[in-house]
Amino acid sequence: MSEALLLDELILRDKPGTVLLVAEAPPAGITQALDGRVEQLSSCPPQQLGRHVAELGRQALLLFHGCLDNCARDEVARLLAAARDVYAERTLVMSACDPLDETLPLSRNFMFSMGFQYLGGAGEANFNLYEYSILNYKTVPDWLNARFWANPENWDKFRW
C-alpha cells in the first residue's frame, strides 16, 4: 500500500477535528483529505519542536512525517512521550528509518518501548508507520470486570 493511501485511510477512519502535521513537506494528498483542518510545523529545529507543539495546544491527531529520522534518540523519546501523553489524543509517526537497525532513533524496538504499535510499511517506498492511541493502547482483559474481583460490592462480603 502506498504512503498516501495508508495515511488517508488512517486519517479518514477517525475523522479528527484538529490535526497538527510536523513535517518538512506535507505528504501528498493529506491536506485534501482533511478539508483544511491541518496546522503544519516545518523548518523547526528538533530542539525547539517540543516548545512549538506545546504552544499550539492539544490536538486530535499529531502526525510526525519524516522529521524525527535524524534527531538524537533522547530528543525523540522526550518529544514522543510528551506528544502521546499531553499534546495529542492520537499520534502517528511516519519514518524512513530501517526499523531493524537499533542504532537509529526510530527503530521498531524503540517505538514498541514507547508504546507505539507498528501499522505497516513498504519496503520499496521505504516508510514505516507507527501509531499511539490511548483508546486502543491496551485491550481490557476478561477478568477485569464487576463479576469477578473488581467489584466494590463484594469487598466486605468475601475474604481473600
Write the pLDDT tens digit of every residue in 54-102. Answer: 788 888 888 888 778 788 888 889 889 988 888 888 998 888 777 777 7
Q: List, in order of start, the domains of the chain with CATH numbers.
A: 3-154 (3.40.50)
Determine the average pLDDT of the residues in 2-14.
71
Model pLDDT for residues 129-152, shown as the tens digit of each residue: 899 988 877 777 777 766 666 667
pTM value is: 0.76
Element (H, E) at 39: strand 38-41
Does the pLDDT at position 155 exceed 80? no
Share of the chain above pLDDT 90, in %: 3
Distance (Å, rounded) from C-alpha 36 to C-alpha 18?
Answer: 9
Predicted local distance difference test score (pLDDT) of residue 31? 59
